[in-house]
Structure 1
Amino acid sequence: MPDEAPTQPSAVRAAAANARAWPFVEARTLLDRFADQPPAKGYVLFETGYGPSGLPHIGTFGEVVRTSMVRHAFAQLSDLPTRLLAFSDDMDALRSVPGNVPNQGMLAEHLGRPLTTVPDPFGTHPSFGEHNNARLRAFLDRFGFEYEFASATEYYRSGRFDAALRTVLKHYDAVANIVLPTLGSERQATYSPFLPVCAKTGRVLQVPLRRWDAEAGTIVYLDDDGEEIETSVTGGRCKLQWKVDWAMRWAALGVDYEMAGKDLIDSVRLSSQICRIIGGVPPAGFNYELFLDERGEKISKSRGNGLSVDDWLRYGPEESLTLFMFQKPRSAKRLYFDVIPKNVDDYIEGLTRFPRQEIAAQLENPVWHIHHGQPPRQESRLSYSILLNLVTVCHTEDKAVLWRYISSYDPATTPETAPLWDRLLDFALAYYRDFVKPRLNYRVASEAEKEALADLGASLRALPAPADSEAIQSAVYEVGKRHSVFPDLRAWFRSLYQILLGQDDGPRMGTFIALYGRDEAVTLIDRAIAGEDLAAGG
């Protein structure tokens, strides 16, 4: 067992060299890129992208938190400085009017214009793009991410991308020839990597080019009126189609690491080819799986079958959502309300294990990654599921009543000494109100089950005082074994859950009874035997 002194950096670095947790695997792959020499720019650049035509969502959180985990893992392996750039594609054109914003008629008048030139429908910022950028920054700041914000509009207009844009123009045919085979015949006829911003209308135009001059850095196109227009590709007068834009950004900024969703596998491959053509090195990274709803169908914002960050945070702490993002990022996972309690309990279990683990095991523990190597100490024997069941049998939303049960079970656990558990009670009460209570379905016990319940009540009364959860659990086991009505212990416990808790599943009964109180549990059993309505409380 490790001692309580802080782990030495040298010990962490030695263990990180072989750690199997996926952030370390990713970090070692990234570090291999600099085996011969460090990056010329003097730091390793991580990037995440944001499309500000909509508000930040749970996918935004997942991408930034996972990238931050890789970045932190990298810092354990190397002394190379790192930066994380949250890049907003705010020069993209507004293609459609979002259904969840005000002043939609006004927005419709600005379709096709860069988001940073579209008026803000909320009236709080100079443009719609800047409004959503502010929401992104507030969203990331809320969770304490360490990042730098970047605006595509600023980078294009300031000239920061000018050299890279000229390089793309120089390799115009090679770049276009990579993209064209992926398009339909109609789109091929009008495709150009460059999208000029019309000086008359301010709209981003998707028009074929008549000709271009790589030396002068100019293109010629026909505008909507049929007039032949010559414009520079620099200074924000043009932007690039997004796949070319992605590649250009990688090359211009020297992006070393960027992950993307599985739906962008082909785009990553194509953009990587373009990046190499214009003299860049595509970043390391991986494609994470997308989320599914409870029916196993892909989550879609337009269909509204997803779960938002705020939805999750009504019923569980931020750390439980971060754990969900950490677990198996390359596997499709169902993201719906019922997964929250398990993730909360898995987080608590990780905290409980951590102080007793050796360094190598700590680096495999998700809480190390969630808390950047410094997880808080957690020794409570409780679980979120146990709290939910306590709320269920108590039929109360008074936290003081619930705390009396908890402090009786574990006198060292109080709202002052265990603020996490005080928060968890709030989450448990909200989850109980919205999801558990409407589904409760108490079953009346059969005569044979009543005999087993009476036996259980007598066994609990016979236990010496005080009896711990292990002694109680053993007594529950023995009663189940004695009654042939139950083919196995699973059937016995399922019967207890359905009759006493109104659910098909439930907690470890020994721990639950110890928390609820042995006398209270016996009273509950007696009421079930008498056929009382347990849903009405008592």
Structure 2
Amino acid sequence: MTTTLQHALELTPEVLQAAADSKAWPFEEARKIVKRYEGRSFPETVIFETGYGPSGLPHIGTFGEVARTSMVRHAFRVITGDKVKTKLICFSDDMDGMRKIPDNVPNQDMLRAHLGKPLTRVPDPFSNEYPSFGAANNARLRAFLDRFGFDYEFASATDYYTSGRFDEVLLRAVERYDEIMAAMLPTLGEERQATYSPFLPVSPRTGRVLYVPMKHVDAQNGTITFDDEDGTEVTLPVTGGHVKMQWKPDFGMRWAALGIDFEMFGKDHGPNAALYDRICTILGGQPPEHFIYELFLDEQGQKISKSKGNGLTIDEWLTYAPTESLSLYMFQKPKAAKKLYFDVIPRAVDDYYAFLSAYPRQEWQNRLGNPVWHIHDGNPPDIDLPVPFALLLNLVSASNAHEKGVLWGFISRYAPGVTPQTHPELDRLTEYAIRYFDDFVKPAKTFRGPDEVERQALEALEAKLASLPEGADGEEIQSAALDVARGIERYQDHSKQSPSGGPGVSVAFFQMLYQVLLGQERGPRFGSFAALYGLTETRALIKKALKGELIAG
């Protein structure tokens, strides 16, 4: 990301007006920040923040938070004419105690001996490459964010607590301890109220983060007194990394200490947002603007969890699709719950290229609502994609291709002049298509034989295709297939009308083609598929189905 928008986007009056009027959610959020400073000057730097808990491996939800916040940051820079400095802090709560061991990490027996310790004091269970579990997960997060080219400043809670970056506000928290408790206690159950403290001391004896009540809070000396795990009374300063704050007060403390202007978080934090704000205010800060997004769910509809390792990982998505498709998935409907598993990938890929194709033809008002404008910081690339990803998948399925050279044989015949050199993006997608098919489509393929009506329909379709010229395009082939279906009562849809005035064609006809010819429940537009695969090859596929060879194979 460049330091000035002028390098990527000319901020003409037309663009600025379109930004001011845009209903795209990043612009709506950006305008909240502008309104925040209405009637007064902007600070030297407007600060955006995202939070990450390195108790488990980074997952796509973590990436989504950074990507979405970056989109809001970019929208803010546009509507302010790029005249205000901004910064994105990616904050890792790596001083949090390890309360449970993630299911998806190695050396679990070793980790059990370190339960309760700050994540940056738990050994690296992966390879001993890093000084701690927290550091290892932080490195994974940073490597991924760097891979995407995000412009951010990484922040470690351990570093901030131990270096003194939070000391001023921590001392203020000691002074205003009673106010913080008055805010917190009504939110807790009776039993929890009796032992609650906003301060979590780190035991000088065991190194574990302690959830213990305070015996004394000394505002004058900035210390807290409590009983350690062995019953010994201990007094510690709240500064210097000896103490961290409970996670709810920690939100507000961090906002006050760092002057955060905008932070988004998941719906699970929504009920606590007002409490975070109140703590921030008590500690002398102005609460940031919020954006609460819906949660990501796995295939069973369960919330994605770092400790469970359910749902897609970042690397898994990028094994089967380009990065831009993942960014699109994050942009779309952030306030709607989304299932995040492998089935969503092909649609996300094709949607991305569809938006990209539409962009040059749009007026600025619509361009600024187009996801690709936000994905590419206002400068989407010019990419021609003659074959959609879903169609590539079905070409792999029908041709049994295991290398992209086979696919290119079909593609070059379908679109003369299109080669891996002229269309590198399409070449990249052929590799993704083969991987995705091998791992997800092929194992689930189930061919069935046709019944007598379907057999007659397939025979008629094969004969109809034989009458077409070899160079027939997708529209001609689709029309031929529709003509066949209209003549068969089972496939007539009387709720629709054909161009000739007769009944339309039921989707059941094309579902039958997918099931019998491709072994799948869904497929591409038949005419487009047959044009790409070839009439001769499609007729041969139909003949194999009629002979039962696809089931046998």
The interval holding the TM-score normalised by the smaller chain is: over 0.9
Match of 1:378 among 369, 372, 383: 383
Change (3 A) 1:467 1:171: same
Secondary structure of the corresponding residue to residue 258 of structure 1: strand
Quote the residue 1:506 is aligned against: 523
Secondary structure of the corresponding residue to residue 420 of structure 2: coil
Change (3 A) 1:56 1:29: same
Match of 1:343 among 339, 342, 348: 348
Quote the residue 1:240 is aligned against: 245
C-alpha deviation, 1:535, in angstroms: 5.3
2:423 maps to 1:406: no
Change (3 A) 1:112 1:346: same
How many residue pairs were aligned?
531
Residue type matched to 2:15 in 1? V
C-alpha deviation, 1:8, in angstroms: 4.8
Query: Matches of residues 101-500 of structure 1 in structure 2 within 5 Å?
Result: 101-121=105-125, 122-464=127-469, 466-488=471-493, 489-500=506-517
Show CA shifts across 1:323-369 (max 9, x none): 11111111111212111111111111111111211111111111111
Conservation of the 8 A alpha-carbon contact between 2:298 and 2:311? yes
C-alpha deviation, 1:71, in angstroms: 1.0
Distance 1:218 1:294 in 2: 48
Residue type matched to 2:111 in 1? L
Residue type matched to 1:501 in 2? L
Secondary structure of the corresponding residue to residue 27 of structure 2: helix
Secondary structure of the corresponding residue to residue 479 of structure 1: helix
C-alpha deviation, 1:225, in angstroms: 3.8
Distance 2:414 2:305 in 1: 44
Conservation of the 8 A alpha-carbon contact between 1:449 and 1:485? no
Show CA shifts across 1:251-309 (max 9, x none): 11100111111111122221111111222111112111112233333334455542212
Match of 1:71 among 73, 95, 104: 73
Change (3 A) 1:506 1:183: same
Quote the residue 2:20 is aligned against: 17
Match of 1:39 among 29, 42, 46: 42
Residue type matched to 2:37 in 1? F
2:110 maps to 1:94: no
Secondary structure of the corresponding residue to residue 203 of structure 2: coil
Secondary structure of the corresponding residue to residue 209 of structure 1: coil
Secondary structure of the corresponding residue to residue 65 of structure 2: helix
Distance 1:536 1:384 in 2: 28
Q: 151-160 or 114-123, which moves further after superposition?
A: 114-123
Q: Which runs of 5+ in 2 are unaligned?
A: 1-7, 494-505
Matched-pair identity in %: 56
Q: TM-score, normalised by structure 1?
A: 0.93
Secondary structure of the corresponding residue to residue 543 of structure 2: helix
Q: 176-185 or 200-209, which moves further after superposition?
A: 200-209
C-alpha deviation, 1:80, in angstroms: 1.2
Distance 2:9 2:550 in 1: 50
Distance 1:164 1:495 in 2: 67
Conservation of the 8 A alpha-carbon contact between 1:93 and 1:115? yes
Residue type matched to 2:27 in 1? F
Change (3 A) 1:514 1:270: same
Secondary structure of the corresponding residue to residue 131 of structure 1: helix
Distance 1:461 1:188 in 2: 80
Residue type matched to 1:74 in 2? F
Conservation of the 8 A alpha-carbon contact between 1:56 and 1:139? no
Secondary structure of the corresponding residue to residue 331 of structure 1: coil
Distance 1:8 1:264 in 2: 36
Conservation of the 8 A alpha-carbon contact between 2:120 and 2:158? yes
Show CA shifts across 1:104-152 (max 9, x none): 3443333322222333333112222222222221121122211101111
Distance 1:524 1:227 in 2: 80
Distance 1:219 1:301 in 2: 33
Distance 1:6 1:90 in 2: 37
Change (3 A) 1:10 1:536: farther
Distance 2:511 2:344 in 1: 20
Change (3 A) 1:64 1:20: same
Q: Which runs of 5+ in 1 are unaligned?
A: none
Q: TM-score, normalised by structure 2?
A: 0.91
Q: 454-463 or 173-182, which moves further after superposition?
A: 454-463
Distance 1:157 1:368 in 2: 41
Distance 1:8 1:535 in 2: 59
Show CA shifts across 1:473-505 (max 9, x none): 222222211222313331221222222222222
Show CA shifts across 1:215-253 (max 9, x none): 322222233343333322122222111111110110111
Residue type matched to 1:511 in 2? S
Secondary structure of the corresponding residue to residue 146 of structure 1: coil
Change (3 A) 1:99 1:462: closer
C-alpha deviation, 1:388, in angstroms: 1.0
Conservation of the 8 A alpha-carbon contact between 1:380 and 1:413? no
Distance 1:536 1:408 in 2: 30
Distance 2:132 2:516 in 1: 58
Secondary structure of the corresponding residue to residue 89 of structure 2: strand
Match of 2:58 among 56, 59, 71: 56
Change (3 A) 1:341 1:214: same
Distance 1:296 1:192 in 2: 35
- What is the RMSD of the two structures over their aligned residues, measured on CA atoms? 2.1
Residue type matched to 1:534 in 2? L
